């Protein structure tokens, strides 16, 4: 574990100076909030920012002088002091990079912002190279001595979960010199390829019926009520992705090979091992999830999409029909004020405390909601550091799914606020649990809307939208995970051509979506724009993990589990201080039990059955 320069979540897809203006028809949704970043630093040239950058560099030098080669000799009290000093550096470095990263994603067309982020990443990486010794030397402390230090009453006992996870990396760590090299080299290795991917994707333009659109606006067309518009968007995506597929193939080949080389040196048994370790989840638990979902494809996605084809009056669905609104669904744009009230009311219906934790995001400039020129597409909640607060980025266009995205990201934000009390080292939640509050927030909002919907057509549209979101979260993400597994396994045997990668993509798409679909020429290149494959290998199963976990949690809530709200807040406030087995025990749940995942999948199946019953 080393301190690293931070940026907002990897799912973000930033744009560069070639980004297009937003479409002229951007709807009037009321006043949309913008970030107020002054809680981090007053300005990009502020003395406070310059002071903190210098403080990070100075603190790293002093920390290395005081502790390099001496960790094993520290008593419990001195070890606690050491860890708390390390944490302070982590906070300082994280604050600097959070500010630079958020400013950049707010307007990636600004070359000054891009330069500042790159320059600060270089400086923070150079400074923290001096701390690489910390985790390596810590992991060499003999087990008996380690247990003695962390058992002492005046010692660092509360931090033990962090260092237990770190020591799980012991079999895979390299020499101090090699680890320092990898740390230094990161800015011109994976990080450089990540940036190339971001800037390339950001610069793509799509001609849709004579209108030039960026990626976000073109993807947005795939949910348009007009089927011709959806098709035009899909064909524009295919044309541009196909024209750029060689470059994306080079990026994926290089990153997969670089990962394979590092994994070989570390003696990682599989390409997925590092992700499982960082998630603090056992490989067999992930495999149980994966196997349960793939076995459920026929009764979930295959079944639902055959139903949807009938609703749309089609023999076969095309890829541009996958997320199409239902014919009976009335197109309606939801103003920002209504979206805010909808989510906060749903949160308050679960617990007033949940709404109170979410309210400051709206009141204090913690959300940036509008689609703007140069702004990163997508959505994220970035925790910054535990001494400040999270920030949420949205691209709000007033669609019902945008309201669910708001509920999702606010869930992350509330989770991050609650976990902040653990302190910087313990607040971060493993990815397997990081989606818990976000997906639960969506479920609360959906259930609140469903309870208020008496009209049969509206109820059907709402249920169908939820099923599609759950399929996208569970089925699609496990298909993504299988694609990555196949990609890394194939790359181990040699260079992959674009056609090779296309074939891997289509194999998982056909399997997961089923026989209701016909795939247009060009869809085989749609792997090219997914940022997770580039930024965070094997990240995607966390979404399915989170959805399945929340479905099981929500079932316990509906069944009237005593003190559910208190147990829920305790789980979120734990951050990364406890293992998922311990956190789920109060709810009577165990993710290592294969039947656990079937509980979650049965909820999706129940919604599909309700939709089928509406056909009668």
21/221 Cα distance (integer angstroms):
16
Q: How many domains does the chain have?
A: 1
- Domain membership of residue 47 as a residue range: 37-176
Nearest partner of 377 among 108, 13, 8, judged by Cα: 13
The answer to whether residue 374 is domain-embedded is no
214/374 Cα distance (integer angstroms):
10
Against a cut of 0.85, is the pTM above it? Answer: no
591/276 Cα distance (integer angstroms):
14
pLDDT digits (tens, 9 = 90+) for 152-210: 999 999 999 999 988 888 888 888 788 888 878 777 788 889 889 988 888 899 999 99
| Main-chain dihedrals φ then ψ at residue 173, nearest 5 degrees | -85, 155
348/355 Cα distance (integer angstroms):
5
The answer to whether residue 154 is domain-embedded is yes
Predicted confidence at residue 26, as pLDDT, reads 58
Contact between 482 and 290 (Cβ < 8 Å): yes
Facing residues of 517 across strands?
Answer: 317
365/36 Cα distance (integer angstroms):
5
pLDDT digits (tens, 9 = 90+) for 258-314: 999 999 999 999 999 999 988 888 899 999 999 999 999 999 999 999 999 999 999
The answer to whether residue 605 is domain-embedded is no
Predicted confidence at residue 16, as pLDDT, reads 28
The answer to whether residue 155 is domain-embedded is yes
DSSP 339-397: HHHHHHHHHHHH-HHHHHHHHHHHHTT-EE-S--TT---S-EEE---TTS--EEE----
The answer to whether residue 538 is domain-embedded is no
pLDDT digits (tens, 9 = 90+) for 138-148: 989 999 999 99
Structure tokens at 309: 């084809």
The answer to whether residue 68 is domain-embedded is yes
Contact between 323 and 466 (Cβ < 8 Å): no
- The CATH number of the domain holding residue 67 is 1.20.140.70
Q: How many residues does the chain have?
A: 616
| Main-chain dihedrals φ then ψ at residue 546, nearest 5 degrees | -65, -40
Q: Helices 143-151 and 160-167 sit at what angle, rounded to 10 degrees?
A: 170
Contact between 193 and 255 (Cβ < 8 Å): yes
505/456 Cα distance (integer angstroms):
38
Q: Which residues of the chain have pLDDT under 50?
A: 1-24
Structure tokens at 169: 């990396």
Name the percent of the chain in helix, strand, coil, to the closest 5: 70, 5, 30
Q: Which of helix, strand or coil describes residue 250?
A: helix
Nearest partner of 379 among 539, 534, 216, judged by Cα: 216
Give the sign of the dihedral formed by CA 520, CA 378, CA 286, CA 445: negative
C-alpha R_g of the chain? 24
Structure tokens at 524: 């085989």
The answer to whether residue 41 is domain-embedded is yes
Contact between 414 and 437 (Cβ < 8 Å): yes
The answer to whether residue 328 is domain-embedded is no
208/118 Cα distance (integer angstroms):
34
Residues 6+ positions from 613 with CB-CB distance below 8 Å: none
Nearest partner of 202 among 531, 536, 522, judged by Cα: 531
């Amino acid at each position: 574990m080393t301190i690293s320069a931070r940026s907002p979540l990897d799912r973000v897809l930033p744009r560069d100076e070639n980004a297009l203006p937003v479409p002229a028809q951007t709807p009037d949704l009321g006043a949309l909030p913008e970030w107020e970043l002054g809680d981090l630093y007053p300005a990009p040239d502020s003395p406070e920012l310059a002071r903190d950058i210098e403080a990070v560099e100075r603190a790293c030098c002093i920390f290395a002088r005081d502790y390099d080669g001496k960790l094993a000799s520290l008593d419990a009290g001195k070890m606690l002091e050491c860890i708390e000093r390390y944490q302070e550096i982590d906070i300082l470095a994280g604050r600097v990079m959070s500010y630079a990263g958020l400013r950049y994603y707010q307007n990636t067309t600004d070359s000054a912002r891009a330069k500042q982020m790159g320059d600060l990443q270089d400086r923070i990486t150079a400074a923290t190279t001096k701390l690489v010794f910390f985790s390596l030397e810590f992991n060499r402390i003999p087990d008996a001595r380690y247990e003695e230090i962390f058992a002492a009453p005046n010692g660092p006992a509360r931090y033990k979960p962090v260092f237990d996870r770190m020591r799980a990396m012991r079999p895979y760590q390299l020499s101090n010199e090699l680890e320092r090299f990898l740390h230094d080299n990161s800015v011109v290795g994976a990080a450089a390829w990540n940036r190339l991917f971001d800037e390339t994707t950001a610069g793509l333009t799509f001609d849709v019926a004579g209108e030039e659109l960026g990626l976000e606006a073109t993807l947005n067309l795939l949910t348009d009520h007009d089927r011709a518009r959806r098709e035009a968007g899909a064909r524009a995506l295919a044309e541009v992705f196909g024209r750029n597929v060689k470059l994306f193939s080079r990026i994926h080949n290089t990153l997969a090979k670089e990962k394979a080389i590092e994994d070989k040196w570390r003696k990682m048994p599989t390409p997925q091992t590092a992700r499982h370790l960082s998630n603090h989840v056992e490989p067999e638990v992930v495999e149980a999830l994966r196997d349960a979902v793939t076995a459920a494809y026929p009764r979930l996605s295959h079944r639902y999409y055959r139903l949807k084809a009938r609703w749309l009056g089609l023999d076969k669905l095309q890829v541009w029909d996958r997320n199409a609104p239902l014919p009976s669904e009335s197109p309606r744009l939801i103003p920002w004020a209504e979206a805010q009230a909808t989510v906060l009311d749903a949160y308050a219906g679960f617990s007033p405390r949940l709404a109170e934790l979410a309210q400051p995001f709206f009141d204090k400039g913690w959300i940036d909601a509008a689609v703007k020129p140069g702004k990163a597409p997508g959505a994220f909640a970035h925790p910054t550091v535990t001494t400040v607060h999270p920030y949420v980025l949205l691209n709000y266009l007033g669609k019902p799914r945008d309201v669910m995205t708001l509920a999702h990201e606010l869930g992350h934000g509330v989770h991050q606020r609650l976990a902040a009390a653990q302190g910087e080292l313990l607040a971060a939640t493993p990815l397997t649990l990081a989606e818990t509050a976000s997906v639960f927030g969506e479920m609360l909002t959906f259930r609140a809307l469903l309870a208020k919907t008496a009209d049969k057509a509206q109820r059907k549209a709402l249920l169908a939208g939820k099923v599609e979101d759950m399929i996208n979260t569970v089925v699609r993400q496990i298909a993504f995970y299988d694609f990555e597994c196949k990609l890394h396994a194939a790359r181990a045997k040699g260079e992959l051509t674009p056609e090779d990668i296309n074939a891997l993509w289509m194999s998982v798409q056909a399997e997961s979506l089923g026989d209701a679909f016909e795939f247009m020429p060009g869809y085989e290149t749609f792997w090219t724009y997914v940022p997770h494959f580039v930024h965070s290998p094997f990240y995607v199963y966390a979404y399915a993990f989170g959805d399945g976990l929340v479905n099981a949690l929500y079932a316990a809530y509906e069944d009237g589990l005593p003190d559910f709200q208190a147990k829920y807040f305790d789980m979120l406030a734990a951050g990364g201080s406890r293992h998922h087995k311990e956190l789920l025990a109060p709810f009577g749940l165990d993710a290592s039990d294969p039947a656990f995942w079937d509980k979650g999948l049965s909820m999706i199946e129940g919604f599909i059955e309700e939709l089928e019953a509406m056909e009668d």
